[in-house]
Amino acid sequence: MAESEMRVVLVTGGGGLVGKAVQHCIENLGEKREGETWIFCTSKDADLTDLESTKQLIAKYKPTHILHLAALVGGLYVNLARNLDFFRVNMKINDNVLLAAHEANINKVVSCLSSCIFPDKIKYPIDESSLHLGPPHDSNFGYSYAKRMVEVLNRGYNDQYGRQFVSVIPTNVFGPHDNFHLQNSHVIPGLIHKIYLRKQDPIKNDFKVMGTGKPLRQFIFSHDLAKLMIWTVREYSEKKPLILSVGEKDEISIRDAVMNICSALDYPFENLQFDTTKSDGQYKKTVSNEKIVKLLPDFKFTPFDEAVKETCDWFVKNFDSCRK
């Protein structure tokens, strides 16, 4: 890479699940390239809800590219309780990052969205063209609409100023460094933490899962997603969003996900119960990964059971220090 092509990639949300996975791939899995510098920032480095703080962060590191991962995120039940907060905070973060990048003349920004932003009532599988064809599921409308607006902002900067601001849309992500909080986490890390704790209780060893266990999800291991995001920063030349996901055939039920976690933690299946009085949230949101498969036909996703086992092992090893 010539000196004029030296690349400095600023990663917002560098302390989160995906940011840590990108850092792990760069530093430990051979993804680092000569001529590249990757900078991983957290909320300690800047308040991205404040425009001046965001501008100062970019001025300090002078990136050529931004991988924008920072967001206010949470699981089903915290979204149900705080939809307005999720909308307002994420709108501020995204608007500030893209405006500051534009004013600093940064031509490429890759922002991370989520498959929950797609319409609730739609023909499956969903593809990249389906984004604005109907309202998202009501359970997390605040987060979903804020994330949808990133794609609107991207289009505006691309059309009006010729930028290459693009969005990637992963499905349900899990892995090491996730948020394992008992109430505010996503489904897999929350279940890992709860099952681990219940296993330690010699008296009350049964475990109740909220919901029926029937909803279907496409889960992607954070290390797989990180590799795809690194490729997107380097190589993806389109301005249209890109879904990053395992295939339709890899969609599994919450019940099956729980069974895999039980296996990884050596917890007895017969102690499981499902509380059908609790909300399931969106039943399914199946996406097509046809586009990324065509772009990277040789990419291999980590099998779900292996990824769950690696995540559980990491959680047990780091129980005292992980986010929970």
pTM above 0.85, yes or no: yes
The pLDDT value recorded for residue 203 is 65
Annotated catalytic residues are 143
The pLDDT value recorded for residue 275 is 86
State yes or no: cis peptide before 135, omega within 30 of 0: no
The pLDDT value recorded for residue 204 is 65
The pLDDT value recorded for residue 75 is 76
Domains and CATH numbers, the chain: 7-178+218-249+285-304 (3.40.50.720)
CA separation for the pair 41, 54 (Å, rounded):
11
Profile the chain (324 residues) by mean pLDDT over runs of 10 residues.
73 96 95 94 97 98 98 82 94 98 98 90 90 90 95 97 97 94 85 90 74 93 98 96 95 94 89 83 88 97 97 96 87
CA separation for the pair 27, 44 (Å, rounded):
21
Residue 89: CB partners within 8 Å, gap ≥ 6? 49, 72, 146
The pLDDT value recorded for residue 113 is 94
